[in-house]
């Protein structure tokens, strides 16, 4: 790290390298690595063992202001052969995807980027990683797609509690993670038992929970039964 600090303080440091990782794994896809250029060998840049595709990519608006407002940067990616459009269609405009901005100096890139190797290669010599999330698709053309990013700590406009307080309606997806019901007893929406799994539907009531988990069991009911209680 000392060498990195020394390098960035030079009057003529080596080129600054900006790289972007777009993580779609939470949306059911993969991680994508972008860098707007190639290495000395005219091959994709390799940093910390990851290969960054030479893809026109530009970020802006990462600077913090003095008024305490969190930045909402923009990430622009080339839409070559409608590649990014295909991702937008498949993954709901990529909303919520994690974007990591990484910056280092050319001097510290992995040795494979150079014909003669690199004795200065150092995967720990870099600026702090900056993590954002895709908040919305700002624009889309056949040439480029622009995303607006937000920091994970940006809670402007967020209301608490995050869920609506609804007294007698469970908000969980039936047989989902929060619901947790995996039994082979099937019930219709009116809580009557049925032998047909195709008729298995939850009525979203406390009684629906009790029918499945038992009258005296702890229930994972996703509503707020006490919300109407007058104290």
Residues 77-112: pLDDT tens digits? 999 999 999 999 999 899 999 999 999 999 999 999
Choose between 230 and 228: higher pLDDT.
228
- Percent of the chain exceeding pLDDT 70 equals 92
Out of 1-15, 26-40, 55-69, 148-162, the most confident range is 26-40
Cβ–Cβ under 8 Å, residues 56 and 37: no
Pairing label, strands 98-105, 16-23: antiparallel
**Residue 218, Cβ neighbours under 10 Å: how many?**
8
Do 167 and 145 lie in one domain? The reply is no
How many domains would you assign to the chain? 2
Do 203 and 112 lie in one domain? The reply is no
Residue 72 CA to residue 40 CA, distance in Å, equals 33
Residue 2 confidence (pLDDT): 77
Read off the pTM: 0.66
Cβ–Cβ under 8 Å, residues 95 and 84: no
Do 40 and 134 lie in one domain? The reply is yes
Residue 76 confidence (pLDDT): 97
The whole domain housing 209 covers 160-223
Is residue 158's pLDDT more than 60?
no
Tokens of 56: 């026109």
| Average of per-residue pLDDT across 125-138 | 93
| Residue 104 located in a structural domain | yes
Helix, strand or coil for residue 26?
helix
């Amino acid at each position: 790290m000392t060498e990195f600090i020394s390098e960035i303080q030079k009057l003529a440091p080596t080129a600054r390298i900006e790289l972007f990782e777009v993580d779609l794994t939470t949306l059911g896809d993969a991680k994508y690595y972008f860098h707007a250029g190639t290495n000395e060998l005219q091959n994709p840049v390799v940093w910390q063992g990851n290969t960054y595709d030479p893809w026109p990519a530009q970020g802006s608006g990462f600077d913090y202001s003095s008024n305490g407002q969190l930045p909402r940067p923009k990430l622009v990616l080339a839409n070559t052969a409608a590649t990014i459009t295909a991702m937008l269609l498949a993954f709901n405009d990529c909303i919520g995807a994690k974007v990591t901005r990484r910056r280092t100096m050319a001097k510290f890139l992995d040795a494979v980027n150079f014909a003669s190797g690199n004795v200065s290669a150092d995967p720990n010599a870099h600026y702090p990683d900056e993590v954002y999330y895709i908040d919305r698709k700002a624009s889309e053309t056949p040439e480029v797609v622009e995303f607006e990013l937000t920091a994970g700590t940006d809670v402007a406009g967020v209301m608490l509690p995050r869920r609506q307080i609804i007294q007698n309606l469970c908000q969980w997806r039936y047989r989902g993670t929060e619901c947790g019901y995996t039994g082979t007893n099937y019930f219709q929406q009116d809580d009557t038992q049925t032998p047909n799994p195709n008729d298995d539907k939850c009525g979203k009531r406390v009684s629906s929970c009790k029918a499945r988990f038992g009258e005296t069991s702890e229930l994972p009911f996703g509503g707020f039964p006490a919300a109407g209680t007058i104290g």
